């Protein structure tokens, strides 16, 4: 089993048929973290809900943690969430960048 930390910025070059399990899980979670729920045609449940937008920071972080954990459990069952962290984006005040540490399960 591998432990990795994933951020939306890890989404660089998408490989449609990635054969390496670790790379595939990293890519899938990065796509999930970068996608707003409702924006993928024919797959409207994929992505993260933006209900945390404009909420007070403590409430927003709580909503985001729950949403990220549930989305990964549903859409990437090869990964188990270990932790979810947020940091402020230095170049964009008020924006948070998520990072998720997961353990990639053997299939």
Whether pLDDT at 18 is above 80: yes
Q: What pLDDT digit, counting tens, does each position of 70-88 carry?
A: 999 999 999 999 999 999 8
Whether pLDDT at 25 is above 70: yes
Tell me, what's the pLDDT at 12? 80
Share of the chain above pLDDT 90, in %: 66
Per CATH, is 2-104 categorized as 3.10.450.40? Answer: yes
Q: CB of 29 within 8 A of CB of 79?
A: yes
Whether pLDDT at 107 is above 70: no
d(CA 47, CA 44) in angstroms, rounded, equals: 8
Q: CB of 82 within 8 A of CB of 73?
A: no
Question: What pairs with residue 99 in β-bridges?
Answer: 85
d(CA 107, CA 42) in angstroms, rounded, equals: 27
């Amino acid at each position: 089993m591998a432990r990795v930390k994933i951020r939306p910025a890890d989404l660089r070059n998408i490989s449609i048929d990635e054969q390496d399990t670790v790379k595939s899980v990293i890519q899938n979670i990065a796509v999930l973290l970068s996608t707003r729920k409702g924006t993928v045609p024919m797959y409207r449940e994929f992505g993260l809900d933006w209900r945390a937008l404009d909420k007070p920071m403590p409430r927003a972080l709580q909503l985001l943690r729950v949403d990220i954990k549930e989305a990964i459990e549903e859409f990437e069952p090869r990964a188990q969430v270990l932790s979810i962290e947020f940091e402020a984006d230095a170049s964009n005040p008020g924006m948070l960048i998520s990072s998720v540490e997961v353990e990639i399960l053997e299939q």
